[in-house]
Amino acid sequence: MKRSIGLWQLMGFAVTALGGTLLHFLYDWLDKAVWIAPFSGVNESTWEHMKLLFWPMFLFAIVQSFFFKDQEDFWGVKLKGTLLGLGLIPVIFYTYNGVIGRSPDWINIAIFFIAAAVAYIYEIRQFNNGAPHKNPKLAIAILSVIAILFVVFTFAPPEMGIFRDPLTGTYGVMD
């Protein structure tokens, strides 16, 4: 399985890149359907862009797990890769935005792809180096809590900067 990890991760990156891009627009394309809101971007906040990375990575990990049953550290690697990707989005966004004072769309788009690429490359290294995290139940529980937070904060986000839409000044789903 280790020989094919690079191909699996490349497929994961492709699924995440395509899935995240589609999820960015899906809420508007479906006329703001409430059932899609927990999974797609409902505004232009940093949090909503993190959601676009999380769901494709998480769903791909579930599919991939069926093929990596013998890899006892699988979910630990996936947790760390997902956390890395999720963390990179606000770190890069707020760093460059603080330096140049504006956020051109092309840079925002690039941040998403960079975060996804770094996360999957990190996972390759972890799989190849035999990552020490071997508590799959804890890793799955943490990923599940993150999933729940993305759902809850879609409808009831805290009034903090990361949840604020910079274009409208609103938070979460708005009518």
59-71 b/e (C-beta count within 10 Å ≥ 16 → b): ebbeebeeebeeb
Alpha helices in the chain (DSSP H): 5-29, 46-65, 74-100, 105-129, 136-155
Question: pLDDT-based confidence at 175, cuts 50/70/90?
Answer: low
pLDDT tens for 157-172 read 999 999 999 888 889 8
pLDDT at position 119, please?
A: 98
Question: pLDDT-based confidence at 1, cuts 50/70/90?
Answer: very low
Could you tell me the residue ranges of all domains in the chain?
A: 2-163
Do residues 61 and 11 lie in contact, with contact meaning Cβ atoms separated by under 8 Å?
no
pLDDT tens for 19-55 read 999 999 999 999 999 999 999 999 999 999 999 999 9
Tell me the pTM: 0.91
